Amino acid sequence: MMERTIDCRGMACPLPVVNAKKASEELQAGDILTVLVDNEVAVQNLQRFASHKGYVSTGEKKSETEYTVVMTITGAGTAAPEEAIACHQDTRRKGMLVVLSANTMGNGDPKLGTALMKAFVFALTKQDQLPDTILCYNSGAYLTCEGSESLEDLQLLESEGVTILTCGTCLDFYGLREKVAVGGVTNMYEIVERMEAASQIIRP
């Protein structure tokens, strides 16, 4: 078995996929190809390519600017169609931060507030430009956990490259840490950092 690593960090789409395609064609069944990239969209594009080729792939986030995609070459594979090499455009607006500090929206009837929040998160998925990050804290932590009516929409946003983070202290307070079903867990230091760095903060 041969293992090969190619560094595609700093490359614009579709170069990571093009280089991965070229490298994979030089490998045999059972060989391992690792691709280094620096953004989530490149990870998605590479895994889409691997899926079209019939390869087994896994993606891992090492840091905010370092990701790896590991492909296991399986047989001769099939010719990758053009759409497998085409870029999946990053529709996120850099610096846009959405803060969900409650599992309801607005003041008043809780039932109405729950319905409004569900509608708000759904509406986010339909925007031409998606937020860069969504922060959930206080009772907003419920939104990222099992049983949330917004869970599918948040999972869709995450699949589009949106970073979703939930306050760990809040999860512990509500006894929800083991029920997180989307995104990652963060702390107050990172919450403050991301708010300071944001160019636009939306609070429904």
Q: Give catalytic residue positions.
A: 13
One-character DSSP codes across the chain: --EEEEE-TTPPTTHHHHHHHHHHTTS-TT-EEEEEESSHHHHHHHHHHHHHHT-EEEEEEEETTEEEEEEE--TT--PPPHHHHS-----EEEEEEEEE-SSS-SSS-HHHHHHHHHHHHHHHHT-SSEEEEEEE-GGGGGGGBTT-TTHHHHHHHHHTT-EEEEEHHHHHHHT-GGGB-SSEEE-HHHHHHHHHH-SEEE--
CA distances from 4 to 11, 31, 59 (A): 18, 8, 16
With contact defined as beta carbons under 8 Å apart, do 53 and 69 qualify? no
